Structure 1
Amino acid sequence: MRRTISAAAAAVAVAGCVAGLLHLGPDASRPRSTAAPAAADGGHGAPLSPVAAARQRTDAHPDDPAAWAGLARAEIEQARITLDAGRLDAAEKALRRSLDLDGTDNYGAVTGQGLLANARHEFPRGREYGLRATRMAPDRPDGYAVLADAEIQLGNYRRARAAVQRMLDIAPTTAAYSRAAYDLETNGRPDDAAIALRRALDSAATPDERAFTEARLGDLAWSRGRADEAERHYRRALAAVPDHPYGRAGIARATAARGRTGAALELYTRLVERMPLPQFLLEALELRHACGDTRGGGERAALEAQVRMVRADGGPVDPHLVLYAAGHGDPEVAVELGRRAWKHARGVIVADALGWALHRAGQNTEALAHARRAAATGWKNALFRYHRGTIEQALALPEATRHLREAAALNPHLLPHCPDGDR
């Protein structure tokens, strides 16, 4: 089975998850200094891919540490786009070569090490590299991006917010605005998050940046129950990058919301054959369950295999695997995985997943503590509200009804359903 980057790692590579009151600054166009460089010609008028262009530079300049650091960054970016974790090993080799050539004043390699650590869910190391990079070059944005992504996953929201604000001050580009958007959404300000994402879209310099931002706009609309608006953004993401995985997943989600579950399942099947992320597998499995197929097609087998692999190798835990094990597998295994994830990442997404696992395992008092942690930033997240309300219901707490109603009001499409004709 091909190793894939988890949804959380893919998000942290570009979006981050910071919380707070950010000053977005003027709605300016992309500064020239941050414009994406033109790709080299790969022959027949076709531009080289960023990785191929970076390899071409290392071939031409094998003793240039900046060229090797650039190759590492291109590999990490390609890993984010393709969700192929194997590319991270290539990035690590390139970083080692860069540091062999210059181990004293190599900003590109230090930020590359931070990006790599974050992609591998090694967030304390990511934070160390981010701090080192910002000390080396206080007026360059890349170190603050690394730092922000690590801090948010460690639950250090104020520090993450400060890093994102510094990014916005230095270079108000797609990378900064997308992190600001996640900040604002996580802090319960979806309207401001949408403004930040529109600025991110205006600043996008590549098809991948446009696709990413459109998919995030789709996710934001979906989280507010606006299925039609979400679908428009997902289609724009696919117009920019035809195989964009989150765009394709969003179309499947919107198709299911319209009651066309058969078509949605076909879309999910094609998606997970190419990109077997836990998030996509779990969405497909839960749609099948809603339609009465408790066997779960091939999605259950794939998720079980991923759970076994994660338990065996001790690697990063995708929160969607925790949710799968809690709802469709072994709740005790879900708690085991959730506790391991919580040791390495203290963000609200992990708090919610661990709380749900504890609830499914019958440990509702501890579950409620984590559900409350998940709510601490004020994120208007329907899934978090649903989980919290269900836990409170199990504890016979009066606020359960309010939180369950809020979940349904935030996103009526939260729980998949299957029209009678599609059963």
Structure 2
Amino acid sequence: MRHWIFYLVFAAGNLFAETNYQKELVDIDRAVSTASTQSQSIHALYRRACLTGNIADIKKSQFAVQTALEKFGPCQELYLLAASLDLKLHRLAEAKSMLEKIPSGQWDQDFALLQADLAEQEGRYADATALCQQTLRYGERWDALARLAHLDFLAGNFSSADKNFSAAGPLLTAKDMRSFAWLEVQRGRMEFQRGNYQRARKYYDRATQAYTGGWLTEGVLAELDAAERKFPSAIARYEKLIAATGKPEFREALGDLHVYAGKPALAKPWHDQACAAFLASAAQGDVHFFHHLTHFFADTRTDGAEAVKWAQADFQLRKNAFTADALAWAFFRNGQFSEALDFSKTALAFGVNDCFLQYHAGMIHLAAQKPKAGKELLAQAARLNPNYANFHAHY
């Protein structure tokens, strides 16, 4: 019954030209400008950071939280906001420091879920799963179920992931349309990563109906269009996203798409812009784009030494399956096959079922003169996603 409520709201929302994203952004900016207390301002700025995902917005929110902590002293709610913002920027040590300031007797579900997010980024997948399960014992929450579904997917428990995603949706109300859209995008991404494009588009379309104008949904639709070789549509989506958000990762994706479509000359300006933005961010002391720099120099510029540099920096911050895999691939690109094999084995040991991780491992094992293992890993990549060689964006 509740899903029928969603579809009634979809129909009503489509009568208006202004997108849900634009309307929410206007509402938030109004809340920021009219805030009469520091608390109201902090929460409005945090909402904006979560909505846009823009680094400048996240930093502005961080500054407001830090200013409040300096003024008012210890506050659990502010510590949680600070930790959440730090995790968005891959600042794990800072996030851990904020969580450690919260007394053990003040445990709550929000605290546990941030601990789960930290555990996942640190490669402690079993701990992250346990924390989500612990949270759910104190009451059902859609965001706990969604996290658990994501961890199930990483572990290769696809039916359990689907079950948990399905259970999360009905816990939302018609007021939570952006969250509902986010859930549908995650379900679509799960299908996309298994090569199920038709099912992925079904979830993405539902996300679009639920919440119009969201950059996250438009981004995955552009990726799907590109994978299905609908190049004009994919290009148009990426160009619109770049104009609307300025995000360098969309510039990178558009450059990758032009290369995939056999037009490298069209890719160069987009790749140049993306690389300049990634490097400028790193020069300012930010770490959020280290993984993008790793992929860029490994697969776009094919500068193995530079790829190793950024992959090592990222691995020092976040030791998980994907940073280990990225470092292994960087060593592979740099012709250091022994080192590549060591880190590939490290990545595989995390037990994550990811087609690109398996593909990288397969190629590395072949280069290290281990053909039997290499062929099996490549076969495993194809079993996980028969379409893994098609276009995909870096996240």
**Normalization by structure 2: what TM-score?**
0.84
Alignment of 1:188 onto 2:156? yes
In structure 1, what is the equivalent of residue 86 of structure 2?
117
**Structure 1 pair 232–316 and aligned structure 2 pair: CA distance change class (3 A):** same
Alignment of 1:102 onto 2:72? yes
Q: Deviations over 1:7-45 (max 9, x none)?
A: xxxxxxxxxxxxxxxxxxxxxxxxxxxxxxxxxxxxxxx
Are 1:317 and 1:340, in contact at CA under 8 Å, matched by a contact in 2? no
**Structure 1 pair 245–95 and aligned structure 2 pair: CA distance change class (3 A):** same
**Structure 2 residue aligned with 1:316, among 253, 276, 287?**
287
Q: How far off is 1:279 after superposition?
A: 4.5
**Whole-Å Cα distance in 2 between the matches of residues 183 and 313 of structure 1?**
32
**Structure 1 pair 162–132 and aligned structure 2 pair: CA distance change class (3 A):** farther
Q: How far off is 1:211 after superposition?
A: 1.3
**Whole-Å Cα distance in 1 between the matches of residues 284 and 59 of structure 2?**
16
Alignment of 1:49 onto 2:31? no
Equivalent residues in 2 for 1:15-414 (5 A)? 49=27, 52-53=30-31, 56=34, 58-59=35-36, 62=37, 68=39, 71-100=41-70, 102-104=72-74, 106-133=75-102, 135-138=104-107, 140-205=108-173, 206-277=176-247, 279-295=249-265, 296-318=267-289, 319-329=291-301, 330-397=303-370, 398-414=372-388
**Structure 1 pair 92–307 and aligned structure 2 pair: CA distance change class (3 A):** closer
**Whole-Å Cα distance in 2 between the matches of residues 251 and 219 of structure 1?**
10
**Whole-Å Cα distance in 1 between the matches of residues 169 and 91 of structure 2?**
29
Are 2:185 and 2:207, in contact at CA under 8 Å, matched by a contact in 1? yes
**Alignment RMSD (CA, Å):** 2.5
Are 1:334 and 1:357, in contact at CA under 8 Å, matched by a contact in 2? yes
Q: Deviations over 1:399-419 (max 9, x none)?
A: 1112112222322332237xx
Are 2:89 and 2:288, in contact at CA under 8 Å, matched by a contact in 1? no
**Structure 1 pair 272–402 and aligned structure 2 pair: CA distance change class (3 A):** farther
Q: How far off is 1:325 after superposition?
A: 1.1
**Whole-Å Cα distance in 1 between the matches of residues 62 and 281 of structure 2?**
21
Q: How far off is 1:378 after superposition?
A: 2.7
Q: Which amino acid aligns with 2:258?
A: R
**Structure 1 pair 55–95 and aligned structure 2 pair: CA distance change class (3 A):** farther
Q: Deviations over 1:85-109 (max 9, x none)?
A: 11223323332343245324x2111
State the SS of the aligned residue for 1:49: helix
Q: Which has the higher helix share?
A: 2
**Whole-Å Cα distance in 1 between the matches of residues 119 and 202 of structure 2?**
33
Q: Which amino acid aligns with 2:300?
A: H
Q: How far off is 1:53 after superposition?
A: 4.1
**Whole-Å Cα distance in 2 between the matches of residues 189 and 136 of structure 1?**
34
Select between 253-262 and 378-387 the one with higher mean Cα deviation.
Answer: 253-262
Q: How far off is 1:248 after superposition?
A: 1.2
Are 2:322 and 2:347, in contact at CA under 8 Å, matched by a contact in 1? yes
Gaps of at least 5 residues in structure 1 are: 1-45, 418-423
**Whole-Å Cα distance in 1 between the matches of residues 332 and 65 of structure 2?**
43
**Structure 1 pair 170–281 and aligned structure 2 pair: CA distance change class (3 A):** farther
**Whole-Å Cα distance in 2 between the matches of residues 307 and 409 of structure 1?**
34
**Whole-Å Cα distance in 1 between the matches of residues 132 and 41 of structure 2?**
25
**Whole-Å Cα distance in 2 between the matches of residues 193 and 71 of structure 1?**
37
Select between 85-94 and 142-151 the one with higher mean Cα deviation.
Answer: 85-94
Q: Which amino acid aligns with 1:407?
A: A
Are 2:321 and 2:352, in contact at CA under 8 Å, matched by a contact in 1? no
In structure 1, what is the equivalent of residue 18 of structure 2?
none
**Whole-Å Cα distance in 2 between the matches of residues 95 and 260 of structure 1?**
44
**Structure 1 pair 278–354 and aligned structure 2 pair: CA distance change class (3 A):** farther
Q: How far off is 1:75 after superposition?
A: 2.6
Are 2:86 and 2:94, in contact at CA under 8 Å, matched by a contact in 1? yes
**Whole-Å Cα distance in 1 between the matches of residues 30 and 115 of structure 2?**
28
Q: How many residues align?
A: 363
Gaps of at least 5 residues in structure 2 are: 1-22
State the SS of the aligned residue for 1:346: coil
Are 1:127 and 1:151, in contact at CA under 8 Å, matched by a contact in 2? no
State the SS of the aligned residue for 2:151: helix
